[in-house]
Each structure stands twice: as C-alpha cells, then as structure tokens.
Amino acid sequence: MRFIMRKVGVAVAATTFVLTSLGGAAFAAPPTPPPATPSSTPVAVQLVEGDTYAYVINVKQANPGQMKLAEQAVTDAGGTVVQAWPEIGVVVAHSTHVNFEANVVKVAKGNSVTSVGLTRGVPVTEGTPANTGPDGSGGAIGKGQQWSAQTDVETSGDTLNDVVPDPMESQQWDMSLIGAPAAHEITDGSPNVLVGVLDSGIDGDHVDLASQIDRADSVSCIDAGQPDTSPTAWYPTTSTHGTHVAGTIAAARNGTGIVGVAPGVKLASIKVVNDDGFIYPEYAICGFVWAAEHGVSVTNNSYYIDPFEYWCADQSDQGAALEAVRRAVAFATSQGVVSVAAAGNSATDLNNAITDTGSPDDWGTPVHRTINQQCMNIPTELPGVVTVSSITSTSALSSFSNRGLGIIDVAAPGSNTLSTLPGNKYGNMSGTSMASPHVAGVLALMKSVHPKWTPAQMITALRAEATPTPCPANAIGGAACVGTTANNSYYGYGIVNALAAVQN
C-alpha cells in the first residue's frame, strides 16, 4: 500500500524555481536547500512514442498572461492541457511525444515556464479526460473565500452536558489516551468546520458517516487530476483506508458503533487514490486546491505522493512535481487550511534519510538510490504541514513510525486503532495513517472553539497544548530518540491533547 507515498525522472541539472505571486497573494519562494553531497541518484525513464504521459508545468507568476502562454506552449509542443490551476501557476498536461518536455521549454523560450516534469514513469492508465484544454476544465471549480465567511462569528461549537457513549466506544483506547471523551464534555465540534479527507474515498452510506459527509464539497481528483463532482465519484472502490481515517476524525455520536475525535464537524471526501493504490502529484494538487476553495478548515493526508518516497529537487522531473505540490499546499494554507500528514511507516529518521530502496514504486524495478537534503517525503515535509508520528496504547513510539527532530510536530495513536470500514463494518488498522487523523480531529475541535484562528495560530497552540513526552531509554524501531522532553525526534512537542485544545 502506498498510504503514507515516491519519482520518475530524467537525469538533468538542478532547476531553480521562482514564485512571486499566486492568485494575487504573495508567497515566499521555495527555501534554498543546503548544499548536498553527493547528488541524488538519477532515475531514468524510458518513454515510448505514442504512449500518453502526464506532466506538470510551473509558470513564473500565477497571472492570466503567463498561464495563457504556458497553455499555448503545451499545445504547440504537441500536448493537451488537462487541467490549469491559475491560482498556483500550475498546468497539468498529457502528451504522446517523448520530446514533449524539451519542446515546451523551447517553445516557451523562458518567458513563462519555470519547470516541466513527468509525474510518473508509466503511461496514464485513466486516459486523457474529454473535458480538457483552456476552454474545458480551465481551473478549480471554486466557491470563493468560504473559509473567511465562516470565521466571522466566534462560537464554541455544540456544548454537551450529558455525553452518552456509543456501544463500541469502550474499545477506543486511542480516544481516551488523547483526552477526547473529556473534550466531548465541552464540545463535539461545530458543523461549520469542514475537514477534507484526502484519501481513497469515504463510504457515504456507512451508518456512522452518512450524516457527517458534506456531499456538495466532496470530489474525486483521480481523473488525471481533474475534479469530478459526480455523486459517487468520491466513494471508495478498492480500498478501506479512507473510510477508516474518516471514522477516526468524525464518526457520529448516534448510538451506533464508535465516536470520532470531533463527531460534530463535517467531512469532505476528496479522493486522491486511484484504483491501483497510487497518489500521483496531479491528484494531490487537485485535492489541496479544492480544499482551499471549498471551505475546508483542516485536511488529513495519510499518504506520501507516488511514485517516490522522496522527491529530489536536484532532479528536474522530481523537482518540478515537488514545486507544483508545494505551491498547492502553500495556497491552501493562505486560504486558512491547516494540513496534517502522516510521518511515514519506514522507521526512518527523516533528518538522516540517505537511501531510498523502494522507488519508483509504479513501474519496473525500484532503484537503490542515494538521496540528499534536497529530497523530501511529501506532503509531510513541506512547509506549514503538521507532521504526526505514531504511538501505541502504552504511549511508546510505534516500531514502524518515522521520526525526526524538528520534523515531527506531535504524536498520536496509530497502532491497532478501531474505526469504520466500508459496508457498515468496523476494524482495527495500524500505521502513521491512523495517527494523523487523530490530530486532524483535534485541530477540528480547536477550530470549532477558535474559528478566527489562522493556521499558524492553530499549529502553535497544537504544539503548546500537547503533552510533553520524554525520550525512552532505548531506541524503538530505527533511529534512537534525540532531543528534550519539550521537543524530541519521537514525539515532537508531545502527544496530542484534545481536552487542552478546547479548554484554552
């Protein structure tokens, strides 16, 4: 499984990205990476003329003129514009020509295009959508600044004086560990808060989830990265993962099954996992921009982006995709969205990752490659993303969990947690994928009582209100724990605390 996901690239020199304006808002350019020696190992892709491949094109500035030039360059180079995201200056394109990348750069003559990159090393299995081009999809199907509208009035959410447990709630050790039952004595969360679940889809007919889903703001992004709002496009097809994550966040308090961390909030199913289990960059980009424009306050991202566990900025294809996803996350943050991500299940210290043995994961044989400080696990290592490690019922770090001083923000239960499964079922699953939604739920509770707070304020409070947890005496899983009780590589600032999030 690629939940909690890796590149495909042509070996060329590193590319410098410059971004001065996105959708009228000023955004900082990507941080200059520290020197890295040696360079990351290139991954060559053998393209076949006539097969359809997917690309992202980043423009210098996100304005109509440069977007038009970039789209024209795609067409002149023999490609098809599948989706244009003017908000972030990114174009998703398909082409059957093996020299498409070079031709786009040549046609653009450096006037508008900053970088171009393959998003996968295999032909596009979903095909090229019929509704394409500048006059087709053209960009996000937006609702405007809904987030601003719903933060105009301070509200404490729904206060509960008498909390009646659901029948399986006694089995939810994870909720007790983070103080969720005590938090529910104060609030279950507000229905004005919407959590976007970027995952494999949510079973909208599940008895514990049917009342929780905002169907109007749910979407599928797996049609080549183009939004599909048809009624069941965002339902799960081959995976239980998204439904399990959704239940942890907001399973209803309804006298049936379990109760989520924030049972009073709403969920948007944002499907970014295709039927083969892959999350490609264009799917995630679609998901983040959708969340930004549809009133989402918090997103949960229990995956890494395929086909690379680490995307390296010193490889041109990987660097282009990395920059496109970074822009999408930055745009979501600018619109008031807090993004939460699973740290990963490789028992690796993300500060000292030097090899990647499982990428690319969608074609051929994975390359045993050297990675460096310009290589990132995305979205979890992107700026502004809350990174979550996993713990057991005894508060020990889960043996599979990634870690990293200055990377992990907080820890949460992720080993053998009970939640919803498609078909009105329930089951236990393990992974940092299961830890992340606990934190998304806590942030949803926090947003319910502090609706005017910005993402930065929420992250600061989340860290400050976590329960500080010291390093254990012995290493767990991979690398040993480093840091202090106040902030270390296993627990970050501590174990997430739902009660503190709604008290303060």
Helix (H/G/I), strand (E/B), else coil: 269: strand
Q: State the catalytic residue, choosing from 166, 174, 199, 217.
A: 199
Say how many domains are in the chain.
Answer: 1
Strands (E) located in 7-88 = 21-22, 25-26, 53-59, 79-85
Instruction: Pick the closest to residue 331 from 148, 71, 86 (CA basis).
Output: 86
| Contact (Cβ atoms closer than 8 angstroms) between residue 447 and residue 461 | no
Helix (H/G/I), strand (E/B), else coil: 5: coil
48 belongs to a structural domain: no
| Contact (Cβ atoms closer than 8 angstroms) between residue 198 and residue 65 | no
Distance CA 77, CA 266 (A): 44
19 belongs to a structural domain: no
259 belongs to a structural domain: yes
352 CB neighbour count, 10 Å cutoff:
11
143 belongs to a structural domain: no
Q: Mean pLDDT over residues 63-90, rounded?
A: 96
Q: State the catalytic residue, choosing from 433, 436, 448, 489.
A: 433
Instruction: Pick the closest to residue 486 from 412, 405, 414 (CA basis).
Output: 405
Q: How far is CA 173 from CA 119, 259, 394, 424, in A?
A: 40, 12, 10, 21
Kindly tell me if the per-residue pLDDT of 21 is higher than 50.
no
121 belongs to a structural domain: no
Q: Report which of residues 79 and 137 the model is more confident about.
A: 79
Instruction: Pick the closest to residue 308 from 359, 355, 356, 347 (CA basis).
Output: 359
Helix (H/G/I), strand (E/B), else coil: 316: helix
254 belongs to a structural domain: yes
Kindly tell me if the per-residue pLDDT of 456 is higher than 70.
yes
| Contact (Cβ atoms closer than 8 angstroms) between residue 93 and residue 74 | yes
Q: What is the DSSP letter of 405?
A: T
Query: What pLDDT is attached to residue 34?
Result: 55
Query: What pLDDT is attached to residue 224?
Result: 97
228 CB neighbour count, 10 Å cutoff:
16
For residue range 133-164, what is the model confidence (pLDDT) as tens digits?
543 334 332 222 222 222 222 223 333 335 67
Q: Please say if 276 is a catalytic residue.
A: no
Q: Mean pLDDT over residues 222-248, rounded?
A: 97
Residue 44 banded pLDDT, cuts 50, 70, 90: confident
| Contact (Cβ atoms closer than 8 angstroms) between residue 401 and residue 389 | yes
Can you give the CATH number for the domain in which 276 is found? 3.40.50.200
| Helix intervals (H) in 51-156 | 64-76, 100-108, 146-149
For residue range 294-318, what is the model confidence (pLDDT) as tens digits?
999 999 999 999 999 999 999 999 9
Query: What pLDDT is attached to residue 133?
Result: 53
162 CB neighbour count, 10 Å cutoff:
5
Instruction: Pick the closest to residue 295 from 487, 481, 444, 126 (CA basis).
Output: 444
173 belongs to a structural domain: yes
Q: Please say if 433 is a catalytic residue.
A: yes
Report residue 294 as tokens.
Answer: 């549809």
| Mean pLDDT score across all residues of the chain | 88
Place of tokens 């440069």: 66
Q: State the catalytic residue, choosing from 94, 184, 241, 450.
A: 241
Instruction: Pick the closest to residue 456 from 339, 323, 350 (CA basis).
Output: 339
Residue type, 335: Q
Q: Report which of residues 147 and 122 the model is more confident about.
A: 122
226 belongs to a structural domain: yes
Overall residue count recorded for the chain in this entry: 504
185: containing domain: 164-307+337-343+383-460+468-503
pTM reported for the whole predicted model: 0.89
